Amino acid sequence: MIETLRLTAEEAAGLIERGEVSAAELHGAYLLAIAERDSELHSYLTTVGESEGDGVPIALKDVISTKGVETTAGSKILAGYVPVADSTVAARCKKAGLPLIGKTNLDEFAMGSSTENSAYGPTRNPWNPERVPGGSSGGSAAAPPPPPPPPPPRPHTGGSIKQPAALCGLVGLRPTYGTVSRSGIVAFASSLDQVGPITKTVRDSARLYEIIAGRDPDDSTTVELLEPVAIPDAEDLKGLRVGIPKELNVAEGIEPGVSEAVNRAIELCRELGAEVGETTLPRSVEYGLPCYYLIAPSEASSNLARYDGVRYGPRVGNGDIRSMYECTRDAGFGDEPKRRIMLGTYALSAGYYEAYYGQAQKVRTIIRQEFAAALDQFDLLVSPTSPTVAFPLGSRTDNPLAMYLSDVLAIPPNMAGLPGLSIPCGLSEGLPVGLQLIGPQFSENLLFRAGHALERALEFDFVPGRLQ
């Protein structure tokens, strides 16, 4: 009997290396855990009974193409689509010996903050099944702790990695844009999409990032890492300058319990030897969200134009080609993709391009400059990852603006292409609170070092409280 409840990826790999269990036995144990719990949580869209690899099983978000395994992006318009080749991320995991155990649920085309927009039904939070797990990677975030596979990578556009990691009490890394290949990833917003891991620990995050990161000749936006990935072992923050951006820490809507947990973590930074000071990002928080919701829908309207019933998924309608396009898209896309496609098409239309999309790109440059100025003074910036803990299922589905505000703290650094690491820093109302660490481009090793030291000092128990 393999106890998977508290097993980290690093510990699981050690069991295999020492010959205490085989990869097949571990795979079977995880499948058993999924079978016992997934009917309640609905983390998985597909599970794989047998898969190549002699290492720790891995789950992939269902926008990551996997050869021979259905990839739907959580949408009916891709139902039945089976890729003929692996994405670069899937291929690198396979090369590293990580067998695929399944594909996880998500908001349709990664458009959402609660995983309630999936065409295949919502995922539930393992800490409280009446709450959301965050999004768009809610299936991935809900999968590890209860206890399925330790390290599932997923693409991050707005808050798609950090926010669900925060709401489910896990570690989520949004890497520097361009350090992980997007080749074979179902596209949402090309200048924002980035693949990264959600794991149980910071060391697990570093190990998985080491596997998936690096230049890919099939993706011209990728770059070589400036230095090898370092697996963290530091226990203090001596020598680090930690900045507290006022606007990211007192933004409207931050719950008192979230602020209290984050403030305790900030005080812990001081105790661990960091120099802590205040800084400001006056325009990044105010304009980050509206900037994102012009750029991302605009790029989505372009990327999703390929789904027309001709090449992918089901075809609806037998009339002329225009009628077939309209019927297929009406039946295949859910409300949120339709909403963003219409918004993005309008922003890109003649007469409005410069006023909306062009202006948003100018604002994005200002956001990048503001973060650069703050990071000239400090090595890292810290804030809450999400302004709230996990909210009740259905509470925001009729209010898109309230749903969009779930990512108000995670989006600004993403607009600047910066890496961010969310680690759990405590509980509020019995639910996890996430601490967001933001660094300069290519500072993943610094984030891992700081995150690991804080993780050890905080001693957060990633096992959902309802199971203790």
Residue 64: what are its φ and ψ, rounded to 5°? -95, 115
Q: How far apart are the two ends of the chain, measured CA to CA in Å?
A: 19
Q: Which of 65, 114, 118, 136 is catalytic?
A: 136
Question: How many angstroms separate the CA atoms of 61 and 101, rounded?
Answer: 11
Q: Which of 51, 61, 65, 298 is catalytic?
A: 61
The CA-based dihedral angle spanning residues 120, 115, 93, 386, taken in that order and rounded to the nearest 10 degrees: 180
Q: Tokens standing for 183? A: 């080749």
For residue 160, indicate whether it is catalytic. yes
The conformational region for residue 332 under phi > 0 = left, psi -120 to 50 = alpha, else beta, is alpha
Question: How many angstroms separate the CA atoms of 393 and 388, rounded?
Answer: 14
Q: Which of 43, 160, 386, 406 is catalytic?
A: 160
Question: How many angstroms separate the CA atoms of 64 and 185, rounded?
Answer: 5
According to DSSP, the β-strands at 241-245 and 275-279 are parallel
Q: Tokens standing for 272? A: 């661990």
* DSSP one-letter string for 428-454: ETTEEEEEEEE-STT-HHHHHHHHHHH
For residue 136, indicate whether it is catalytic. yes
* DSSP one-letter string for 392-433: BTTSSTT-HHHHHGGGTTTHHHHHTT--EEEEEEEEETTEEE
Indicate which residues carry an active-site annotation.
61, 136, 160
